[in-house]
Structures are given as C-alpha cells and as structure tokens.
Structure 1
Amino acid sequence: MQPDRPNFLLVHCHDLGTELGAYGRPGVQSPSLDALAATAWRFDNAFCTAPQCSPSRGSLFTGRYPHANGLMGLAHLGWEYHPDERTLPDLLRPAGYRSALVGLQHESADATTLGFDEVDSPEPKLGADEVAARASAWLAVPRREPFLLTVGLTEAHRPFTHPPLEDEPAAVPAYLPDHPGTREDLAAFHGSVKVADAAVGAVLDALDRSPHADSTWVVFTTDHGPAFPRAKGTLYDPGLRVALLVRPPRRSRSAGGVVERAVSLVDFVPTVLELAGLAVPSRVQGRSFAPLLRGEPMVPAEVVYAEKTSHRGYDPMRCVRALGFKYIRSYEPRPRLVLPTDIEASPTRRGMGEEHLRPRDAEELYDLESDPDEQCNLASDPAYAMIRSRLGAALERWQRATGDPLLHGPIAEPPLPGRTTGALVQNGRP
C-alpha cells in the first residue's frame, strides 16, 4: 500500500535576513509572516551556507555545501552544479512526488535543468503579486500525488522599486552607520519586504482554501542577509543569519514553537526527506532537524559552517561558528569589505567613509557573547590562542571531510567573456 506522504510548500525570497516583526525587528510591516510565525516553528538561529544568492540556494536544494555541489558563485556568471548533482525534486521523484517551480530561481541559467517536473520561471522576473497569483492557481488544483511546490520571490533584492515605508525606521542595526542615507535605504528596503509579505500571505491563503492544507508542510526562508554593508556578501552574522519558519500540516500533532538550536539551510533537504519517510543519501552533507519539528530532543551539534568563494570577483573565505565564537579564514588579500555593485551604489554607502577598504585580516575571531556585532577581532590576542587553534582545526577537518578544493589552492572561476576579476576586487568594489 502506498504510504500517505505529506506535501511541501517552500516559499523563499531574496536578501531578507531576519528583517521581520516576528524576529523582533521594529518598524517592519510583515503581518502575514508574523502570523505564520505564530503557528509555526520559528528558528531563531538559522544560517545559510553562503551569503550569496546562488550558492546559498544550491545548498538549500541539494543538502550539500557550495564547494561540494559546484555552485560556488553566481549562476548568471557561469557557475553551475556539478553534472552529477541531484536536487530535492530528483530525490523526491522515486517516491511519486510531483515538483513545481513558480517564480524566482537563481541556481542555473536554465531553470529546466533543476529537476522540477513543472517550471514557471519566466524572464524578466515576475513581481511578487504575479508570482503569488500563479502559485495560488497551482494550489487550487486537486492532486493525487504528493507534491513539492517551491515559490520564489525576487523581493527584497535591490533595486528597491516598491514604495518605501512612510515612517522612518525606528532603529538602525548596530552594524550599519546611522545617518540619513541609511534610514532612507532601510525605508525602501522595508517597503520591498512589505510587498513580499503580502505575496506570502496570498499564497498561504490559497493553500488554506485548497484541498491540500491538511497534508502540507509550509516552509518560509530566504537566501541570506540583507543587501547592506557588512551583511550580504560577508561571513558576519548579518550576512549569514536567515529567517526560517516551518508550519506543520493541519493533521499533524505538532503545535510549533521557538527553536533556539542552531541549524543551517544545508539541513533542509535531509529534513524534507525524513518527513517524507525517505532515506537520506550518503552524499547529503546536512543533518535532518525533523526531530525538532516533532517536539523531540536532538543531540546538540551547535556548529555552523559557511563559505564564500566568488561573487562579482574571487574572494575565498571559510568560517565556523561554534562554542560561542566565530572564526573566519581568508585565503587571498582583500579589503575588509568587498561590496557588491548594488550596495556600493546605495545611499547607505555614502555614510561609510573608506575604512572598509583597508586590508582584511587573514584570520578573524569574535566572541559572539560579548561582541555580537563582531567588531573586535581577537585572532591575534594570546588569551584566545587556544580557541583560535581549536576552531581553525575544526574548520580544516570540515573542509577535508566535505572535499573543499580550496585546500589544494585557488579555485578557477568559470570562463566568461569580459571577466575582469583582478580589477574588480582590487578596489573592493565588485
């Protein structure tokens, strides 16, 4: 007899971080996602594997780190999965799952290569309201087979084209300069978040009206932190921390709650497979957090790894977050911050000065308890030599266990006409 497998609805947006009311961010208008958080498992320590769009999403859909699946840079700059990589739709198909992609994807120049049975991902990219309408229409159709529906929103990626919030932000995050340009920028960003939130609400309303509500897990997340200095494109917490909300099906006995345990988006694939009653392939590098969704304890593994290899230019870095500390290792001399082009042109950039163009330290170590904003680098402090050595060794063990090619020297970028990587990163402004 065919097992009664659950459905999965994954909604993901761009460049959000944890900028939601549900995560305590003042002044953000996110009523739909706040309501979802009230009935879901809210993960307060969820992190991406890379602070960039394509590599992070690649881990979300393969359960493997970017350096393992091949997607170490942006898909529109020539980076792709390794040819033998299997995505979540591929892994679910043998169990009878139907998969569909509606809206944004950023894992390949050709969305039809990603393993989905149905692809509705046109170019130019659709606005949030149209994506929500198409996803809602898909959900209204009765289906016999279990499904995976992934709904991708372009918002809140720059440029911020939606009306800004009228009220000035109540507070500027500590990692940003507090000046009028930043507040202007945040108001525009939050206007885009408001639009994304409304689209998510429309999709959830459609699900709740559909025949599938009783049997569908709902997952909301984003790829990485906001497109602001010291967030997107960096291995600091504002770049790596993401919203993650997981609502059980109506028929489930799980009631939701708050999860403090650290998890990574690389853990999403094994979690879905376990919830679907399927075996997790040995190639998958993430660890299922399905027990947490059932209210069961898990042996703590409070270690998170993340990486950056290339964005608009080659910028190889790796990090480990454990024991209340963050250790970051850079493999090439670069400026302290390498700003993506859209952040370089932003109003926030105008108030930064040039301090971020000074040379970056090859090693960084931060005490996340006493220095949550990661401002005081302890890597050269003799009092922290033991923890630096311990975390450095842990990072290298992870690199070896997961086959990181960076251990063997610089990683070649894909050939692309007109690529001028050296010039781009020389000024810290890719």
Structure 2
Amino acid sequence: MVKTENIDKAYEAAKQRYAEIGVDTEAVMKQLSKVKLSLHCWQGDDIHGFLFPGQELTGGIGVSGNYPGIARTPDELSGDLHEALSLIPGNHKVQLHAIYAVTDKKKDLDELEPEDFKYWVDWAKQEKIGLDMNGTFFSHPKVVDNFTLASPDKSIRDFWIEHGKRSRAIANYFGEELGQQSVNNFWIPDGFKDNPIDKATPRLRLIDSLDQIIDKKYDEKNTIEAFEGKLFGTGIESYTVGSHEFYQNYAISRGKIWTIDAGHFHPTEDVSDKFSAYFPFGKGLMLHVSRPVRWDSDHVVIFDDALIRITRSLVRDNELSKTNIGLDYFDATINRVAAWIIGARATQKALLQAMLAPIDQLKKDELNFDFTQRLAETEELKSYPFGAVWDKFCEINNVPVGLDWMNNIRQYEKDVQFKRDTKNSVTV
C-alpha cells in the first residue's frame, strides 16, 4: 500500500515544480473533479443485456475471451459497476443500452417504456450518478440485410422508428428522475457489403426516419440526442449510410450533438483534429473513448498517444464544457470490472496531464510565432511529475493510489465474481 506521507511529499514537490511555470495544481484538480465520465454497462456482460436472453450478437459486433465472473443478472451487473465506480476518482455516469431493460414481461424493442428502466434509476439514485441511453439497433431479427432505419421495407423502418421514439422517452425519464441531462446516442449498422448503385436514397430514408423519431420535443435539461457515424463495419465495408459526414450534418442542421467514436475512423486519422473544426458550428459533442487496434476493435482504453492528443485538444481549446465523454470498449480476456477502471483512470490521467500546462503562455508564444519556446516547453512538460498530482487526486477522492486498487479487484474476484455459476455463463 502506498503510504500517505510518500504521496504528500511527492505532491508537494510536484506542486512547487508546476507553480514555477504558472500552473496551480489545486485548481487543476478541482477542474478535473468536474469532468464526468460515462461508463458503458456492456463491458460487464459482453453486450448480452437482459431483454433477449441467449440472443446472438450480430451487426458486426463481437467480444473475444471468456474470463470468469461475467455478470448475468441486473444485480450482478449493477454490483460490478458499483465496484468499478468505487475505485475511480470523482462522480460519474453510466451508459445503458435498450437491451438492459429489467422487466418481468416479454417485450420487444418497440414496446419498451420508462418503467422498464426503473431498476436502473433506483440504483443510480443510490449511487448518486446520472444515466445515459443508447437505442439498440443490432442483434435483432428485424435488422434485415444489415438495414434498420434506412431499410427499403417500410415495416422494418416503422419498427425501428418506434424503438427510437421509445428510447427518447426513456432518456427523458432518466433526466427527470436524476436531475441531470441524459445523452441518448443513436448508432445504426445500415449499409452494403459491396458497391451500391444508389447511395442517395438510403440516406434520404434515414433522414426521414430520424426526423420522425425526434419530432416530439423534450426539455434539453433532461435529454438530448447524439448521432454516431462510422467509416465502415463488418458486412458493410463498401457503404455506410450513417457516415461521419452524414451525422455531422444531421446533428448541426437539427440542433443535436454529434458522436465521435475514436475507433470509427481510418487508423491514420487524428480524431482530435476534428473537434475544433466541428465546434464552431455544432451544439456539442458526444465522445466515445475507445482504442482501435488495426481498426474498430474496441480494446480497453490506455494512456497512449491517441488518448493524450484527444484530451489535449479538448483542454487546450476549452471544449470540455461542450463535450460528453463516454467509454466504449469490450474485452472479455481480462477481469471486466478491471477493464472499466483501467480505461476510466487512463482517461482521467490524460485529462490531468493536459490540464497541467501553462496553456495561456503557450498560446501567447504561438501568437508571437515563438515556435522555439513552444516546442521546448511542450517537450519539457512531458517529464513533469504529473503522476504525483494524480496520486494526490486519488487520495483526496478516497480511492486507492497506484496499483492498490488491484487488491480490491482480486478480493472482489474471490468473494463475488469467481463464485458465480460458470455453467450458466456465456462464452463468446
């Protein structure tokens, strides 16, 4: 266990070092404490949900690994989320998908009601957290030939339109009950495997479907819609109806927000460069922090160069107040609760390091074309003792410092996860 006196000693030295370049570490920690991350519930159960037990994952989504202790019930999943939240500094949110409804009635996606999520609202009140929402437009018999809202079949479109309307009502319920805005994210898998003749008509159908979904007005203090594009997906390699450009334009034109998933772009694209190009026109951003390896493989987020660039861009351009940061990955090769903690803490570390910089001075150097000073200082900052500030941030938020949180996870595995009936676990 890391000793308090060692944490304090290292922090005081770091505090002085940063003060020498005009950075107030106390103010930075207060700034970081205001940033809420939205943990994705589907990391805990490999995206199975509770609405359709045993249903196979489709839509280009797959989870690898069969680490023991998968959550199979609402109580197990909420218990795992509680454990994760207790080891992540700060106060945060949880993202749900429609398939995580908790109901004793057999319902389809177009029949869901706010009451089917009362379990989660009651739990969120106990945890003192917010909830975000996602409609589930995959792993369903009515995803026909990889089409939902853009389907040429009106009956298919109508089913998914109704589901979209229901998801908005549920998100509004979250906002009303929990007193904080619920972001309702829309991602659909529609597209073609090979080259289509008509690229325009599916997009016109999608516009019409989305317009019907968002026709009813909800108070934005309760909920707002976000629309998530994708470069391509498994089975739709040649044409994605809901491309990045499509949803960026749709969000701007409808007064909604755009979702950028870090794994949904070409591997050579710098996702962070897109923020400043979008914000002068857009209302806000939903960011899905993921880690693509090769492409959209949804590895657990780590403190890597891509994440550092993302957080630096948000901090340096003062865009955090307009950005909702959610995690989005799934890995069943490791402890699923640990995966939440590793990704969340990595994201917070990247935000902290970005904040621990004399940003105003660096911008002044740049404005004066003093690129020598800019380069020298940004390089020197890389070896500044931000880790000592991170340890202090964890301490003041009453969560374990360093690797001490792994002791909690090993105990949780022993006491809870490894006692679950593995015969009923699903191996994917």
Structure holding more strand per residue? 1
* TM-score of the alignment, normalized to the shorter chain, above 0.5: no
